[in-house]
Amino acid sequence: MRQPEQLDLAAASRLLSWLGCGVDPELLVLALTHRSYAHEAGGIPENERLEFLGDSVVGLIVTEYLYRTHPSLPEGELAKMRAASVSQRALAKVARTIDLGSFVLLGKGEKTTGGANKDSILSDTLEALLGAAYLCNGLEETRRAVLKVMGPTLATAAVLGAALDPKTSLQELVASRGMGTIEYRSQTNGPDHARVFEAEVLVGSEVFGVGSGSSKKLAEANAAEAAYRQLSAIADNATD
């Protein structure tokens, strides 16, 4: 395993401050070690086992939170909210709030192809980090960490009407109001190994949301979420 003293202590301190709990230095390095790095380093341990653990820990904490926070919702709606909250896209979005990609140990190939900004790598690393936090601190401390970093995501799950993705929520909202058709327009910027996609969503002929991301799908989802929020705000103001 990479020696813990090689980890940037200032960077580690910032990461753990965001998380709100301590993690053993060796486990922290392990949580940040992607399989591409492990392979190039001669087959050292990588973070997939911690990811497996973290996935279950996050699932339990999020499920309990939604159950207690929404006592009147049926099981089906709670399941949809949980799926939205712990989806790859949602976890990657949380990871980007602390620029987690800059901490991940990646192989040269993954670095070249923009691995530090891939949803799959970011979400997996976040789960591994939370798995490490669980091993070091137990369930109660980890629950506080998960709810701290995922608070905005859990709130969004409710705002989006328990839909599995923002595009579905937007479609349902626009249809319920008879506002016309939805159109997505996208473009790319940057070199092949670090492309950024930008999208805008039009309802009728008016742009209601813009978004960006490492893929067309992510950019459109972010644009749809922005449009949903804007249209919901317009409706709320109209009823005041």
For the stretch 234-239, contacts whose Cβ atoms lie closer than 8 Å and that sit 24 or more positions apart, written own/partner, are 235/177
The predicted-structure confidence for 163-188, as pLDDT tens digits, reads as follows: 557 888 888 889 988 888 999 999 98
Which tokens is 86 given?
Answer: 């712990």
Helix (H) / strand (E) containing 189:
strand 182-189
Take residue 80 and report the two structure tokens written for it: 């949809």
Residues of the chain with pLDDT under 70: 1-9, 158-164, 193-194, 235-240
Give the model's pLDDT for residue 164.
Answer: 54
Per-residue pLDDT at 4: 37
φ, ψ for residue 239, nearest 5 deg: -95, -10
Q: pLDDT digit string (tens) for 37-77? A: 999 989 899 999 999 999 999 999 999 999 999 999 899 88
Number of neighbours of residue 185 by Cβ within 10 angstroms: 13
Beta bridge partners of 213: 197
Active site residues: 55, 127
Ordered structural domains, the chain, with CATH: 10-159 (1.10.1520.10), 166-239 (3.30.160.20)
CB 85 within 8 A of CB 153: yes
C-alpha dihedral over 5, 8, 9, 13, to 10 degrees?
-130
Could you give the angle at the alpha carbon of 232 between the alpha carbons of 228 and 236, nearest 5°?
170
pLDDT of residue 194: 67
pTM for this prediction:
0.73
